[in-house]
Amino acid sequence: MDYLFFLIVLIPFIALSSYASARVNSTFSAFDRVPNRSRMTGYDTAVRLLARNGVNGISVNRVRGRLSDHYHPAKRQVNLSESTYGSASVAAVAVAAHEIGHVMQKKKGYLPYRIRTALVPIANIGSRLALPLILLGIILDVSVFAATGSVAGQVMMYVGIALYGTSVLFMLVTLPVEFNASRRAGKMLVQEGILTQEELPGAKKVLSAAALTYVASMLVSLIYFLRFLFIVLSFSRDR
């Protein structure tokens, strides 16, 4: 019954995640067919915004895929997807400017960005080890505690929960980082004359749709975290 309840709760969030993914693709496709009046491509936009903001030593590269755009701070690269790099659409320049928004966050020391960067290695470890540790802890708790009274299994379960929690925290901190990057993008696009005020709402729709995917992912991760925590607490209560 507990598992059935978990599935009932999870289904709406999975549906939201699917909707968010479909929406970002459909919104990008719609405004990718709308050329911007400045005729600047995603690449042009990234290069101009970097130069106008006094940022040096960042390369702008083309990478494979659609909407695979990202900023790699360690390599000092802004990587634009094939759907963004050479396109002179409203959608393309919005996405490119969003990635430059992340560059500016790093340059200006934006606190949530700094926190997210610090969480990256911990969250990567947590996402890989959390579930194996929880499962191993349950096995040890069932098999070893009854015979020896050892709490090693329980400790392992709580370590797994803590590690998974870092992944949830990472996704939670990601939300203000992404929303802030989008706000920065909108301001820069208008200030530099890349988009007009009339074109800006279209760019905001593209960026808002992309942000929804982060919200959906965070909610799904939170539900799984609460589920794992409930399982561990149930073992402790039964003991």
Q: Is the pLDDT of residue 220 over 60?
A: yes
pLDDT (mean) for 124-150: 72
Q: Is the pLDDT of residue 34 over 80?
A: yes
Measured CA to CA, the distance from residue 225 to residue 154 in angstroms comes to 17
Range name among 41-55, 99-113, 127-141, 182-196 with the lowest pLDDT average: 127-141
pLDDT (mean) for 177-203: 96
Q: Per-residue pLDDT tens for 190-199?
A: 999 999 999 9
Q: How far apart are the first and last CA of the chain?
A: 20
**Residue 149: per-residue pLDDT:** 55
DSSP string, 203-228: HHHHHHHHHHHHHHHHHHHHHHHHHH
**Residue 127: per-residue pLDDT:** 78
Q: What is the mean pLDDT of the chain?
A: 88
Measured CA to CA, the distance from residue 187 to residue 195 in angstroms comes to 10
Q: Per the structure block, which two tokens stand in for 42?
A: 């995603």
Q: Is the pLDDT of residue 150 over 90?
A: no
**Residue 12: per-residue pLDDT:** 85
Say whether 99 is catalytic: yes
Contacts of 97 (CB under 8 A, 6+ apart): 45, 46, 49, 184, 185, 186, 188, 189, 194, 203
Q: Is the pLDDT of residue 200 over 90?
A: yes
**Residue 177: per-residue pLDDT:** 96
Burial environment of residue 191 by CB neighbours within 10 A (0 to 12, 13 to 18, 19 or more): exposed
Burial call 2-16: b when 16+ CB within 10 Å, e when fewer = eeeebeeeeeebeeb
Measured CA to CA, the distance from residue 72 to residue 149 in angstroms comes to 48
Q: Is the pLDDT of residue 145 over 60?
A: no
Angle at which helix 200-238 crosses helix 152-191, to 10 degrees, equals 170
Q: Is the pLDDT of residue 122 over 80?
A: yes
Q: Is the pLDDT of residue 62 over 90?
A: yes
Point out the catalytic residue in the list 82, 99, 198, 199: 99
Band (174; pLDDT cuts 50, 70, 90): very high
Instruction: With H, G, I as helix, E, B as strand and everything else as coil, classify residue 79.
Output: strand
**Residue 2: per-residue pLDDT:** 65
